[in-house]
Amino acid sequence: RFRGLLVNLQPFSGGSYRFGDVVLDSAERNFITPAMVRAWFAAEKMKLVGTELSSINTLELERFVRRRGFVRTARVYTSMDGRLNVELTQRRPVVRFNTQNGYNFYVTDDGYVLPQQRYFVVYVPVVTGYVPFPFKPDYVGPLDRFAGNPEKKVQKNYSFLVKLINFVKFVDSDDFWKAFIVQIHVVGSQAGDGYDPDIEIVPRAGDQVIMLGSVDGYEQKLAKLLSFYRHAAVSYTHLRA
């Protein structure tokens, strides 16, 4: 018979913790905790206590757990000690959109759109401004659902969003730019369907705003900007000497 629930979560950085002794191996904040998993089952009023293990449909429970947005993979199985084991891996947010046109959501590393969480914040690059999206503000699901959409405006907005996310991923993968850029601001997207939005980047230090222009060719543009900062640093050193 069912005697308890053991939850084993894989946090973003690949560590793990178990319900009970709670071993935390990740420095990153996680959206899912063992207590939350217990609450999912309790909210559905699933009668597990006292149930014969052989009558528990673990495949159905896996499907139930996977429906939670931040769950990437789930494995549910019973063990000889009478426990129901739930093993999860979590999606990792890579960017948050908090825009003037009413959108507030995360995009994960596997291209999944998830709503902003009420009690948890993940510190990832933030995109602000007016961003043309191919979906409504309450959309939750895979981003590639809009790839190849026959509607021209939807396809244009999807293409821009993918390029913008790739830009953010590039920034996040580079130690210098990750430390340098605190905010990415989209401007000009309200000018009309034929207008390609521009990008502004806000440095972590100082009060300047850098107009990057179109998101196209961002690697070359950032390389030129880095060269400028390096040259400015050398010139400043020479002036002080």
State pTM to two decimals: 0.74
Cα–Cα distance measured from residue 61 to residue 59, given in angstroms and rounded to the nearest whole number:
5
| Residue in the structure block whose two tokens are 């006292």 | 50
| Chain segment 221-230, per-residue pLDDT in tens | 999 988 888 8
Cα–Cα distance measured from residue 224 to residue 213, given in angstroms and rounded to the nearest whole number:
13
Confidence of residue 76 (pLDDT cuts 50, 70, 90): confident
Inter-residue contact 157 to 133 (CB < 8 Å) = yes
Phi-psi region of 226 (alpha: psi -120 to 50; beta: other; left: phi over 0): alpha
| Residue in the structure block whose two tokens are 């973003």 | 12
Provide the b/e sequence for 139-170 (b: ≥16 CB within 10 Å): eeeebeebeeeeeeebebbbebbbbbbebbee
Confidence of residue 7 (pLDDT cuts 50, 70, 90): low
pLDDT at res. 97: 94
Which ranges of 82-202 does DSSP label H, i.e. alpha helix? 152-173, 175-180
Looking at residue 5, its amino acid is L
| Chain segment 42-59, per-residue pLDDT in tens | 887 776 666 676 777 888
| Chain segment 118-133, per-residue pLDDT in tens | 766 777 889 999 998 9
For residue 141, what are its two tokens? 């699901």
Cα–Cα distance measured from residue 113 to residue 142, given in angstroms and rounded to the nearest whole number:
6
Higher pLDDT residue, 89 or 139?
139
Inter-residue contact 16 to 93 (CB < 8 Å) = no
CB-based contacts of 75, cutoff 8 Å, min separation 6? 62, 85, 86, 87, 88
